């Protein structure tokens, strides 16, 4: 149970924040809150993957070259980003909300997810290089 909490706490926190009254207020009143949340979401999902890999000691992960690790993490984040955009689309369809005002907004959100994950990967793999 402790491992699961370590892995899921950050994405869960961001999901609860964005779905809460506070999140709805922030989305409504601060234009760039969505930008911040997508960047943070990318970081959170990449963090979740790296923490899961470390917590469960995934042996298949160790021999993979660094570039492929980054590509894998970015793909993992993109999958979650697409799932989130579907979630927003379904909310818009079911409840008449306006989470996705345009295709450009959706593409921008996915880009921000990947940029957040890229920042975490850069920090993580740079720190690994500096330790050697």
Q: What is the pLDDT of residues 60-92, one digit of tens each?
A: 888 888 889 999 999 999 999 999 999 989 989
Tokens 């959100």 belong to 109
Helix (H, G, I), strand (E, B) or coil at 64: coil
Beta carbons of 95 and 19 less than 8 angstroms apart: no
How many Å separate Cα 126 from the centre of its chain?
Answer: 20
Q: Report d(CA 66, CA 92) in Å as an integer.
A: 39
Q: Which domain holds residue 85?
A: 2-131
| Count of the separate structural domains present in the chain | 1
Longest Cα–Cα distance of the chain, Å, equals 53
**pLDDT reported for residue 2:** 80
pLDDT of residue 16: 92
Q: Which helix (H) or strand (E) holds 34?
A: helix 33-55
- Tens of pLDDT, residue by residue over 101-122, are 899 999 999 999 999 999 999 9
Which tops the pLDDT comparison, 132 or 29?
A: 29
Judged against a pLDDT cut of 80, whether residue 128 lies above it is answered with: no
């Amino acid at each position: 149970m402790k491992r699961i909490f370590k892995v899921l706490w950050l994405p869960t926190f961001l999901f609860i924040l964005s779905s809460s009254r506070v999140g709805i207020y922030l989305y409504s009143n601060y234009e760039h809150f969505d930008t911040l949340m997508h960047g943070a979401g990318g970081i959170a999902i990449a963090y979740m993957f790296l923490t899961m890999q470390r917590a469960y000691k995934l042996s298949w992960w160790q021999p993979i070259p660094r570039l492929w690790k980054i590509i894998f993490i970015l793909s993992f984040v993109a999958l979650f980003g697409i799932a989130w955009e579907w979630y927003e689309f379904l909310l818009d369809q079911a409840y008449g909300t306006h989470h996705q005002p345009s295709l450009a907004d959706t593409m921008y959100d996915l880009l921000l997810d990947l940029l957040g994950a890229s920042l975490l990967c850069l920090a993580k793999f740079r720190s690994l290089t500096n330790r050697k």
